[in-house]
Structure 1
Amino acid sequence: MKKLIAAATAFLALSGMQAPPAQPAPLQLWRLDCGEFQINQYGAFFSDTFQYPEGPKTIVGSCYLIRNGSRYFLWDTGLTDRLVGRSFTTPAQTLKLKRSVLDQLKDINVRPEQIEMIGISHWHFDHVGQAKHFPNAQLLIGKGDVDALKADPPADKDSKEALAHWLEGSGKLEATIADKDVFGDGRVMMLTTPGHTAGHNALLVRLASGPVLLTGDLYHFTEQVANRGVPPFNHNRADTLASMDRFDRIAKNLGAKVIIQHEQADIAKLPAFPQAAQ
């Protein structure tokens, strides 16, 4: 019997036969509800060329959970969950939040400690609000945004407080300066797209059904894509336009499904929670 096994092994080696390559782990993408915003004067708020009409416009906030086999990555964390069930109004906008990220994760049996990494598209308060609930996760965020929050004074005190666990040295932090391969297998990539903020990133997710591109806040709604609308509060206008060009070229070259994270019509391109895109 030993001779037969040895002979078979030798034959397989000589004939070049190899075991089939291992199949990649399943990749899934869930969209999470992370807020709603009524912008009171969205023309002035979102265009520095007076592109859009005056008057209110409602946009949404969305976050995304990605599962790569047994590993979990959370993209953006939305408004603070102190807003759940109530609204907050400023002269510029009214903010609302129906459910927390933690509450939604319970629906798909994901515990906070299972989140291995959090990716933040940029430092604005409506993208970092619930990060503190995942202290064991490594935070991935552009270095330009880290520098903005560590500045004296910081770019935004509330955002700095939301990320204090990582900014003050307690949590695991990676300040990215280039595109970041999140899992090391090329299927989930943070794409450096500065302009809205100094360290802004978009996200590429290569699902089996086709690639998906999440904008962060490179765009806020559909009209911006054709009009190249640049909000007056963006960090750098020229960088914004260059990042829009890069993003659009990637989308075209890959045939990717683009999801503008604040655009209701775009997030509806993905399955409704708790279903996942695959």
Structure 2
Amino acid sequence: MKRIVNLSALVAATLAISACVQTPSAPTPPATAPAGPELSLSRLECGTGITNDVGRFSDTYAMDGKKVPFVFSCYLIQRGDEYLLWDSGHAMTAGAPAPKVSLVDQLAQRGIRPEQIKFLGISHYHNDHIGQAASFPQATLLIGKGDWDVVSSPKPVGTNPAFLAPWLTGGSKLETVPLDKDVFGDGRVIMLTTPGHTPGHHSLLVKLKDTGPVLLTGDLAHFHENYETNGVPSFNTNRAETLASLDRFKKIAAQLKATVVLQHDARDVGKLPAFPAAAK
């Protein structure tokens, strides 16, 4: 009986000691990425502003008869001596909303040549986001896999493949992005998979040292009324994916306390400096 009591006491003591020892948990990822080469973000003009009738931007008829001022924006991210151009705007064709100044000429204001653009990141395949892509054939095109499947199909719908001819012909470097993509490999510039507007749609997260995290929507939402109410355009390719992407994007924005820039909303123009100035 004495042995049984002693054994029980030993077990109880062991359990008590174990309860006091806590297994280390995985570290919480930092809101900002580790330091590296200087990172900056600029807004480029990619089309003249228009006032858009936005009835078709809601599949519940919530926007019928309403008009919203639209802008067309592209973005230059510089990391040290490397460049990512995010979206390439409208083509340089006659009439609004074509840009007044090409991306090539805008970049020349800071002495940046087309061949210096390392990556051309495309939020999605619509023409107002790929119109000047062919001006940067030396860049590696980063595009959602679902979008590339459409662009490279025999009968693409909703896009003009001619704008991506350097990559379709195999002469330029291409990387299709199925999920998220850490563009420079240091956790500070990340393509976020946000499908629904198109099958391979992506948004962009840029973690700046002074400004803090910035989220560029692509066309996840075109203007504040839709962003705030989870409105879904009638021409989106997948309603359920759109709502899931909005949910993910908003949770990331809240977690990181990020500045959200809706690329088409004129009210967001002032959130980032116009090129050649830059946020850091």
1:55/1:245 Cα in 2 relative to 1: closer, same or farther (>3 Å)?
Answer: closer
Aligned to 2:9: none
Of 56, 68, 72, the residue aligned with 1:61 is 72
State yes or no: 1:123 paired with 2:106: no
Larger Rg: 2
- After the TM superposition, which residues 5-84 of structure 1 pair with which residues of structure 2 at under 5 Å, given as runs? 24-38=36-50, 40-43=52-55, 45-83=56-94
For residue 202 of structure 1, give the secondary structure of its aligned residue in structure 2: strand
Instruction: Provide the rounded CA distance (Å) in 2 between the counterparts of 1:139 and 1:164.
Output: 11
Aligned to 2:199: 198
The answer to whether the 8 Å contact 1:36/1:58 transfers is: no
Q: Give the superposed CA RMSD.
A: 1.5
1:229/1:156 Cα in 2 relative to 1: closer, same or farther (>3 Å)?
Answer: closer
Instruction: Provide the rounded CA distance (Å) in 2 between the counterparts of 1:66 and 1:47.
Output: 32
1:208/1:148 Cα in 2 relative to 1: closer, same or farther (>3 Å)?
Answer: same
Q: Deviations over 1:167-214 (max 9, x none)?
A: 221110001111000001111000000000000000000000200000
Instruction: Provide the rounded CA distance (Å) in 2 between the counterparts of 1:170 and 1:36.
Output: 31
Instruction: Provide the rounded CA distance (Å) in 2 between the counterparts of 1:157 and 1:227.
Output: 27
In structure 2, give the amino acid aligned to 1:98: K
Deviation of 1:40 after TM superposition, in Å, equals 5.0
| Unpaired segments ≥5 residues, structure 1 | 1-21, 88-94
| Unpaired segments ≥5 residues, structure 2 | 1-33
State yes or no: 1:113 paired with 2:124: no
For residue 277 of structure 1, give the secondary structure of its aligned residue in structure 2: coil
Q: Which portions of structure 1, spanning 4 or more consecutive aligned residues, are displaced by more than 4 angstroms?
A: none
Instruction: Provide the rounded CA distance (Å) in 2 between the counterparts of 1:56 and 1:223.
Output: 11
Aligned to 1:10: none
Instruction: Provide the rounded CA distance (Å) in 2 between the counterparts of 1:267 and 1:179.
Output: 26
Deviation of 1:67 after TM superposition, in Å, equals 0.5
State yes or no: 1:164 paired with 2:187: no
In structure 2, give the amino acid aligned to 1:26: E
Instruction: Provide the rounded CA distance (Å) in 2 between the counterparts of 1:186 and 1:234.
Output: 30
Deviation of 1:31 after TM superposition, in Å, equals 0.3
Deviation of 1:23 after TM superposition, in Å, equals 5.6
In structure 2, give the amino acid aligned to 1:34: C
Instruction: Provide the rounded CA distance (Å) in 2 between the counterparts of 1:67 and 1:54.
Output: 41
Instruction: Provide the rounded CA distance (Å) in 2 between the counterparts of 1:23 and 1:149.
Output: 37
Q: Deviations over 1:151-174 (max 9, x none)?
A: 22112452x100021122111000
In structure 2, give the amino acid aligned to 1:109: G
Instruction: Give the alignment's TM-score, normalised by structure 2.
Output: 0.84
1:157/1:250 Cα in 2 relative to 1: closer, same or farther (>3 Å)?
Answer: closer
